[in-house]
Structure 1
């Protein structure tokens, strides 16, 4: 699923437990660009049916709010359980308020194909455009990381998530918040591998992993800057307190935005005049590759 690179790209994704109605009620006003309503790890096995019902009711309210203020509400993603339960959750919860479904513990293309079939039927039933509902697989195992290319190329996939907590536990890596600690080199390689597969498939950049420490915002900022330096453009958060820091790191400054817009204006003028290459203010050649980077700057939510 080639991503729409003209649409605003979320900087932050806030996890919200699906079995906590008081958190769901406040979620859209927390300041996240996107929400991930969690029906998997955040919900005990005995409470999953109740959580699904709560989320379904909440989505009705979210759809009404989105219709009243289009473009002002965060994207809504639902993290569904693996296997048949997850397919049943997607079938029940798909609708105009839902941007897509995050596939927990994605193990390969078979699970994505099953979700694709469920969502195709749901779109027909609801009168939604074909392919309107996206998928975002979570890579939480070594097997998923090694199989990332076919996963990235599968139907409906808009972006990938890297779930480092489970992955590091499997690999025996002590997950650092930044990349300068033990295991940092290994994680940098994994993050780059997932980024390359995403770019090759035409997806948005992967969503960066969560930091479970929501008290040390300086460490969060360092780790988020490390992700941005690798090419990531967003990060998942487990607590609203983390949102301002993550949003700030991934928000281009006014000078960066102005420079990107000026470059695009000059390139558009040169293209109208029949030239595909211009020289930038610093004297360096500007071609389509540089222009794509400028477009990415302007597509970031602010």
Structure 2
């Protein structure tokens, strides 16, 4: 999973367009992109989206946050239609994931779904409380698949006048990004980068995506279909990376008694082997 495209839960037209993109997953949104008076009707629309031919895409539903009182109604409407995952906004930490996990178990039982098949992603940085609680995601709940960060809601929580310092994120938001990355790595789940808001600047999207992959993120949220291709390209290992990874793994396989080998005049040890296996997994070869 490299690109995860948001789709307003009340827009069948945008859903149809999103299904025609190369996005690996779609988030059918019942939260921010749907106005309060339209939320009840949007649940029925999302249910219809989930019943569509999914092809190879994973369909995730972003429910409303626990503090809205709408979460259970959202789940009751969509769970019979077998979403692949649920995206929980404004998650405060591991306790929220455990609570959502209990709800999913109940709804899976009611719908006759195998227990544990619906996984969870969480937005981990939308409040100051959430940022300070990210260590609580470790050890990871069995349903937790990924943590992502966002800057817009966090601005309001902090009382910040902007989340940017020129073109770059300001210090508090860089901290939130990095803590999310560490929390995901600690929990052993996907670290997912936030959306790029520069809608018309695809080179900026590509640069931001490459920087995220460089730092350890494995996927990126997307808010516009035009961003899908540059995001996919940035998170797909290059031919040179794949060749290096294959060489590293082959060399260690041929020398099982060695902890360090030399490849191209450079010392390669076990951390490099683990990195090589991640590259091949990202390339669909391992």
Report the TM-score, using the length of structure 1 for normalisation.
0.83
What RMSD in Å do the two structures reach over aligned CA positions?
2.3
Specify whether residues 20 and 239 from structure 1 end up closer, same or farther in structure 2 by C-alpha distance, changes over 3 A only.
Answer: same
Specify whether residues 267 and 130 from structure 1 end up closer, same or farther in structure 2 by C-alpha distance, changes over 3 A only.
Answer: farther
SS of 1:166 mapped into structure 2: helix
Comparing 101-110 with 13-22, which one deviates more in the overlay? 101-110
- What is residue 168 of structure 1 aligned with on the other side? 155
Larger relative contact order, structure 1 or 2 (CA cutoff 8 Å, min sep 6)? 1
Stretches of structure 1 lacking an aligned partner (at least 5 in a row): 1-9, 67-72
Matched, 1:132 2:120: no
Q: How does 1:84-233 map to 2 (within 5 A)?
A: 84-94=69-79, 97-139=82-124, 140-151=126-137, 153-155=139-141, 156-171=143-158, 172=160, 174-176=162-164, 181=167, 183-204=169-190, 206-233=191-218
Q: How does 1:1-302 map to 2 (within 5 A)?
A: 10-62=1-53, 65-66=54-55, 73-83=56-66, 84-94=69-79, 97-139=82-124, 140-151=126-137, 153-155=139-141, 156-171=143-158, 172=160, 174-176=162-164, 181=167, 183-204=169-190, 206-271=191-256, 274-287=257-270, 289-300=271-282
Following superposition, the deviation at residue 151 of structure 1 comes to 3.4
Following superposition, the deviation at residue 152 of structure 1 comes to 5.0
Stretches of structure 2 lacking an aligned partner (at least 5 in a row): none
Task: Check conservation: 1:174, 1:182, Cα contact below 8 A.
Answer: no
In 2: Cα distance, 1:235 partner to 1:120 partner: 28
Task: Check conservation: 2:140, 2:187, Cα contact below 8 A.
Answer: no
In 2: Cα distance, 1:173 partner to 1:298 partner: 42
Task: Check conservation: 1:280, 1:286, Cα contact below 8 A.
Answer: no
Task: Provide, for residues 147-186 of structure 1, a one-character-per-residue CA deviation record: whole Å limited to 9, x for no partner.
Answer: 011135452211111011111343316334xx88564444
SS of 1:159 mapped into structure 2: strand
Task: Provide, for residues 249-284 of structure 1, a one-character-per-residue CA deviation record: whole Å limited to 9, x for no partner.
Answer: 11211111121122222222323xx44443333331
Following superposition, the deviation at residue 108 of structure 1 comes to 3.5
Higher strand share: 2
Following superposition, the deviation at residue 240 of structure 1 comes to 0.2
Specify whether residues 95 and 294 from structure 1 end up closer, same or farther in structure 2 by C-alpha distance, changes over 3 A only.
Answer: farther
In 2: Cα distance, 1:27 partner to 1:223 partner: 22
Following superposition, the deviation at residue 96 of structure 1 comes to 7.4
Comparing 239-248 with 189-198, which one deviates more in the overlay? 189-198
In 2: Cα distance, 1:239 partner to 1:225 partner: 18
Specify whether residues 88 and 115 from structure 1 end up closer, same or farther in structure 2 by C-alpha distance, changes over 3 A only.
Answer: farther
